[in-house]
Amino acid sequence: MSGPLVVLGASGDVAAAAATLPVQVVHVRLPGAPRPVDATAVAYDVDYQHPPAFLPFVDEVLAPLAPTAVVSLTELGLEPASAAAERLGVTGVPLQAVRDTRDKLRMRRLLDRAAPHLNPPYAPGDAPPDVVGALFTGNAAVVAKPVAGTGSLAVSLLRRPEDLPDSRRSPGTMLERYVSGREFSVEALSGGGRHRMLGIAEKRTSPDGFVELAHLMPPPGLTEADRRRVERAVAELLDAVGLVDGPSHTEVKLGEDGRVTVIETHNRPGGDGIADLVRLTTGIDWRRAALGWAVGERLPAAVKQPGVPEAGTAAGPAAVAGPREAAGPPRGGAAAARGVRRAAAAAPVEGRPRWLRRPRCSSRRRPAA
């Protein structure tokens, strides 16, 4: 009998998906996190973001369990899960690949070597003034963001080099020339270096372009040729960062000239209800698949769902996540949130768009599925 699957930082949705797998599941949660609803699951509380506490736990508690794999679908659990898997010699995402996706500057440099056409002009925040100034050539705008940030935090648009404050002229800041075009996110599952694209969502963002308000899947008006360009770019990126196994969520821009530019990638499913869009449009439980690969589960074939248009159609219903509240609790409180989940689970009606609204209580995006 194979050992258990260890999952770090599972949300309620992820824990529910893990409970459907044909293996024992061991949850590792931060102290104070809610217990998983699966009464059969084993759960431990430990600060996995603190190596002096987590590594002895790996050696003394997890090692005797002889787990099959250690994974996480939450941003803050990605590196600890990979570190634990490597320490135990079990299945997991390679730690170097995780670090190369979370560090935006490192990702850009890997793309420079393997697929430079996917990069915009960029520089670290502490680059010489002439290098920073060159990013603004032709009155171009420049995006400043943390090298290791997530969820659109501390992202700003600069119009002139003087707009960059001294506090951000550091190696912790990434500067990239702003790229115009339609923005898409791509969900993929990799196995042995082969990348299967499960869904493409088009984003609707705030006027500044940095806060996601809605996702549409499949994207209306995305031609077959452009879809292939986007998928080819994602595969090149995943090869460049060495992400050969496991889930990924990649954000790209598609210019009017057909050029695809990578924004960033993560070795987890997208948040903001994207996993639900994949299920609604393909029938694939994305959260289960994002866990199940580690214990040998094969991804089922996608099945086009009733009422979902083909990709590339100029009009027609699409599954939509959002818009979400920019601030404040959802109207109707918990009852409204429960109603959203019931609506998302309901069978779609032929020919009608399917809306999935995920209320939120801050301007930050959720870091995990």
- Output the 3-class SS for 39-108: CCCEEEECCCCCHHHHHHHHHHHHHHHCCCEEEECCHHHHHHHHHHHHHHCCECCCHHHHHHHHCHHHHH
- Look at residue 204 in the predicted model and tell me its pLDDT: 80
H/E segment holding residue 260: strand 260-266
- Look at residue 221 in the predicted model and tell me its pLDDT: 86
CB atoms within 10 A of CB 265: 25
- Look at residue 80 in the predicted model and tell me its pLDDT: 98
Helix (H, G, I), strand (E, B) or coil at 340: helix
Please identify every stretch of the chain with a pLDDT value under 70, giving residue numbers as ranges.
1, 149-153, 207-212, 302-369
- Report the candidate in 185, 188, 187 with the shortest Cα–Cα distance to residue 201: 185
Helix (H, G, I), strand (E, B) or coil at 321: strand
- Report the candidate in 57, 78, 174 with the shortest Cα–Cα distance to residue 121: 174
pLDDT in tens, 56-115: 999 999 999 999 999 999 999 999 999 999 999 999 999 999 999 999 999 999 999 999
- Look at residue 215 in the predicted model and tell me its pLDDT: 85
- Look at residue 301 in the predicted model and tell me its pLDDT: 76
Residues in Cβ contact with 326 at an 8 Å cutoff, skipping those fewer than 6 apart: 206, 211, 360, 363
- Look at residue 347 in the predicted model and tell me its pLDDT: 33
- Report the candidate in 35, 14, 31, 6 with the shortest Cα–Cα distance to residue 271: 14
Determine the distance from the C-alpha atom of residue 164 to the mean position of all C-alpha atoms in its chain, rounded to a whole number: 28
Portion of the chain with pLDDT greater than 90, in percent:
70
- Look at residue 309 in the predicted model and tell me its pLDDT: 58
- Look at residue 332 in the predicted model and tell me its pLDDT: 34
CB atoms within 10 A of CB 239: 16
- Report the candidate in 90, 254, 233, 236 with the shortest Cα–Cα distance to residue 184: 254
Backbone phi, then psi, for 268, in 5-degree steps? -160, 165
